[in-house]
Amino acid sequence: MATEESKRPPDFLAMARVVGEVVQRESEHYRDLFSRIGEVVRQVSEQGQRAWGSFAEKISFLPPPSALLRGFEQLSAALPEIARLAETFSERTKVALIRMAECSWYCSMEEIPAEIFEVGDAIQAGDQQLADKLMCQIYDDNYARIKTNILTEFPQRKAILEGAFSAHERGEYALSILAFLSQADGVCFDLLGFSLYAKFMPPGSQGRNLPRTAEFAKKLPEDNFFKPMMEPFASVFPISEKDDNLSRFPHGLNRHIVMHGKSLDYGTRVNGFKALSLLTYVCSVIKGAVESVAKHNQTN
């Protein structure tokens, strides 16, 4: 089991969403702001040459005013393109997350990898073996940090989770999967007040049940960067699907047939990491979404 933390830069989706949202809402505001700052810099340069000269040695680490002004102008001009790229990145990431959920793979805010598009493309092309290999490697590389984070964030579940992690590390996946799936359900209940696998029938659904997490996701503000991350639980995917509909998801892990003893061949390394990815997702994304809503409500 890898113990070194991954060198991949985290939170690509969060950064893209935040930049995109700010730029889209306030690009004109910032354009005007940069223009005003640039004007102030110009005035300082023109009117305070003597003072600037005597002060320059003390702040020599700063670029000259002309360079600052050029930087403001270039950043201001680039804002629309930054917004477009951020939106493209966000939409592409959401598509990849949906494809992954169709095979019972999940990512947390920390484990959004550079390979996420490669994973999504592999699934789309039918190369499930490559997708599984990439995801197992991602979770193996980040395993030590994931374990520490979950045990730290949910100390009341430490005894059970430590047993689950130990079983996973020994390769006893039939045991670890049961524990990971049940603890993901329990953590969701603590956060949202209902089961991770609970469903409801919304109006106009023509008898089609949806996860209750979809109802929560729908209520998130459009500018909440956790909203696209909730996409894997905004619809029915194999982890919570009914037994008679599992043929739609030939590569998915299903909680019901595992927990109720209907599946006898689920105890594989791939499924072990899939179950861990679900627990990590709940402990990171759903927890983050709940906290962001609480913070929003406190400030409004």
Q: What is the pLDDT of residue 38?
A: 61
What confidence category does residue 82 fall into, taking pLDDT thresholds of 50, 70 and 90?
low
Q: Which amino acid is at 277?
A: S
Whole-angstrom distance, CA of residue 288 vs CA of residue 10: 15
65: pLDDT strictly greater than 90: no
**Least confident span in 15-19, 131-135, 269-273:** 15-19
Output 207 or 27, whichever has higher pLDDT: 207
Give the percent of the chain with pLDDT over 90: 40
Give the percent of the chain with pLDDT over 70: 66
Output 261 or 37, whichever has higher pLDDT: 261
Q: What is the pLDDT of residue 273?
A: 98
Q: What is the pLDDT of residue 49?
A: 55
Residue 39 tokens, joined: 């004007």
**Least confident span in 16-30, 129-143, 147-161:** 16-30
Q: What is the pLDDT of residue 87?
A: 60
Output 133 or 114, whichever has higher pLDDT: 133
CA dihedral in degrees (246, 107, 223, 83; nearest 10)?
-110
Q: What is the mean pLDDT of residues 36-60?
A: 55
Concatenated DSSP letters of 87-115: HHHHHHHHHHHHHHHTTT----SS---TT
244: pLDDT strictly greater than 50: yes
Q: What is the pLDDT of residue 79?
A: 65
Tell me which residue has tokens 């493209």.
88
**Least confident span in 76-80, 81-85, 92-96, 216-220:** 81-85
Q: What is the mean pLDDT of residues 179-199?
A: 94
Report the mean per-residue pLDDT for the chain. 79
What confidence category does residue 219 fall into, taking pLDDT thresholds of 50, 70 and 90?
confident
What confidence category does residue 56 fall into, taking pLDDT thresholds of 50, 70 and 90?
low
Q: What is the pLDDT of residue 271?
A: 97
pLDDT tens digits, one per residue of 195-208: 998 888 777 666 67
pLDDT tens digits, one per residue of 140-180: 999 999 999 999 999 999 999 999 999 999 999 999 999 99
85: pLDDT strictly greater than 90: no
Q: Which of 286, 279, 282, 284 is nearest to 164 (CA)?
A: 279
Q: What is the pLDDT of residue 232?
A: 84
Strand partners, 200: 210
List the alpha helices (DSSP H) in the chain.
12-47, 49-55, 65-101, 116-124, 128-141, 143-153, 158-169, 173-192, 212-219, 255-259, 269-281, 287-298
**Least confident span in 55-64, 141-150, 185-194:** 55-64
Q: What is the pTM of this model?
A: 0.71
CA distance readout (Å), 238 to 25, 102, 153, 200, 211 = 37, 6, 27, 16, 12
Whole-angstrom distance, CA of residue 27 vs CA of residue 43: 24
Q: Which of 120, 80, 82, 115 is nearest to 101 (CA)?
A: 120
